[in-house]
Structure 1
């Protein structure tokens, strides 16, 4: 076996790991695959050059590609994604299998991807490589042109952002999460009956003007009407996950890891009584989001 064939075989062995690095760095399966492919083109041209730790070296190459993509993303304003609500019809905002994207996002945590997207590229790289893949700070530092000590500080700052502000003690936090998880599962599964059962008969849903372009915010009342609206947004539920929203259990919609919409719930013993759907950028920017761990 010659060196190009050997390298191609070894690269394929490491591809799942490299894809996992790319996904956590970029929040998108398609972009992760692009980053891995770009890394392969670089590696195949450069050769190994006597590299002793091939896996570590390939991780570094993919990380550098992802860092460049994140920096490019910072300078590019993406077109806003329409959000599906009652009375609207829209297509998919990205190709591929939404269920596969959702399964991958769920395995990592949609909230984590959202919080990671608020970090600077250097913070994200330091946190992802060190905290998720145990890459030493001494190896990360040259990628972002910082000292190991400064890189450690970046990762620490990112870690605090991921954990967020601890929610106020609430014995019902786990119960509330079960309700929100059930709401998401019913929406994904198109189970209107199960969804309506979670809602108070007089539930009120409010959606700001960025959710659906209208002169005034939308208000929907009644369990059946709110449930039908959620069913209309079923496809969007594949890019949605639970999170801490201002210290309470809520949902965040984040296609490709980019926050687009937040659902805030008021939950009582009688079910979900209020749902606030937030998509206006200035309102999203004021929300404290963190990873939910209960």
Structure 2
């Protein structure tokens, strides 16, 4: 049976979407880039494409590089804290996440760190770290010399930081901790929150100026506890919180009836909450809303 162009392309879609998402930090823009790649693939002379996976990765990477320059300009004008668009990953949307390294690559923390890089540095770093490309392959994708690829990679590593154990896999104990955290926040239990938060914990909220959210990171467990104890009963009282895998990590979907109003990643280490990254900007929830509606 002869496969259609669409069927051929669908084999590559998850990997291409993951690549575009890691390059852009935006699920909506990643979808657009992948769709543009499909249009180019369907219009190309496929008989002359010896390795479709490599050809498509090059197309997607360069489409994303074109988008990154304007995206950086928009983020400089962004109201409050910028966080990546969250993606529900339990359905395989970002491909298999079978190792801590794979989960780390798509984590919110890593995507925020990648914002420190220039577009080309980011492309080199993602292709090397997340997709295992050699510098010769990267040079071919980005039309650089191998020496330049190596130089850009070393620079990116310095800016992002050396790989370290930032990711701790989710466990039943973590889920219990997060449940206790939600209960304490909803009840305005200051003492209970303090016990659950690490002293150096940080809370980030991304409302984009569209909804009420803390515009700057809240530093320190005590500061977060006071923030939540003061507003928790007011803002969380009418919400349902559903454990959801977000960007490869333990997360929470916040629902007001049938409306998704927030997705948060809860970072846990050594039995304490070390960070919360909460996306409540409704524009950034559109992709995840479609994901969760399908399930």
TM-score tier, shorter chain, comes to: 0.5 to 0.7
CA distance, structure 2, for counterparts of residue 155 and residue 123 of structure 1: 7
DSSP 3-state at the match of 1:119: coil
Normalized against structure 2, the TM-score is what?
0.57
Residue correspondences, number: 226
Structure 2 unaligned segments of length 5 or more: list them.
98-102, 216-222, 242-253, 255-260, 282-295
Q: Could you tell me which residue of structure 2 aligns to residue 242 of structure 1?
A: 267
TM-aligned CA deviation for residue 61 of structure 1: 1.1
Q: Could you tell me which residue of structure 2 aligns to residue 109 of structure 1?
A: 107
Normalized against structure 1, the TM-score is what?
0.57
Per-residue CA deviations over 1:174-233 (Å, capped at 9, x if unaligned) read 9xxx999877666679972597664249x9x9999x9658xxxx9984874254367379
Deviating 4+ runs (over 6 angstroms): 101-106, 178-183, 187-191, 205-208
Q: Are the counterparts in 1 of residues 190 and 226 from structure 2 also a CA contact under 8 Å?
A: no
Structure 1 unaligned segments of length 5 or more: list them.
84-92, 168-173, 257-294
Q: Could you tell me which residue of structure 1 aligns to residue 44 of structure 2?
A: 46
Q: Are the counterparts in 2 of residues 243 and 250 from structure 1 also a CA contact under 8 Å?
A: yes
TM-aligned CA deviation for residue 101 of structure 1: 7.3
Q: Could you tell me which residue of structure 1 aligns to residue 147 of structure 2?
A: 149
CA distance, structure 2, for counterparts of residue 33 and residue 81 of structure 1: 24
CA distance, structure 2, for counterparts of residue 11 and residue 206 of structure 1: 41
Per-residue CA deviations over 1:5-62 (Å, capped at 9, x if unaligned) read 6332210111111111111111222221111001111121223242211111111111
Between stretches 115-124 and 228-237, larger displacement belongs to: 228-237
TM-aligned CA deviation for residue 66 of structure 1: 1.1
For residues 137 and 109 of structure 1, do their structure 2 counterparts lie closer, same or farther at Cα, with a shift above 3 Å needed? same
Q: Could you tell me which residue of structure 1 aligns to residue 88 of structure 2?
A: 100
For residues 22 and 77 of structure 1, do their structure 2 counterparts lie closer, same or farther at Cα, with a shift above 3 Å needed? closer
For residues 151 and 195 of structure 1, do their structure 2 counterparts lie closer, same or farther at Cα, with a shift above 3 Å needed? farther
CA distance, structure 1, for counterparts of residue 180 and residue 87 of structure 2: 14
